Amino acid sequence: MPISDPYHPSHFVGYTQDELLLSLLLQFEVLSRRVLELELTPCPPPCPC
């Protein structure tokens, strides 16, 4: 695995497993909220063209 690979272990040096998990959970929560916002946004009316 090349060092440029984002999944290479060297990219995670200095972070505990708990910190990585918390980071993933926070990202998931933010994305979930965004999806909910988009789902609740009314669609524009169809173009009369």
pTM score of the predicted model = 0.55
Mean pLDDT of 9-35: 86
pLDDT of residue 12: 61
47 pLDDT exceeds 80? yes
pLDDT of residue 2: 67
Sequence-distant (≥ 6) Cβ neighbours of residue 11 within 8 angstroms: none
pLDDT of residue 9: 66
pLDDT of residue 3: 60
* Dihedral angle of Cα 34, 36, 40, 42, to the nearest 10 degrees: 40
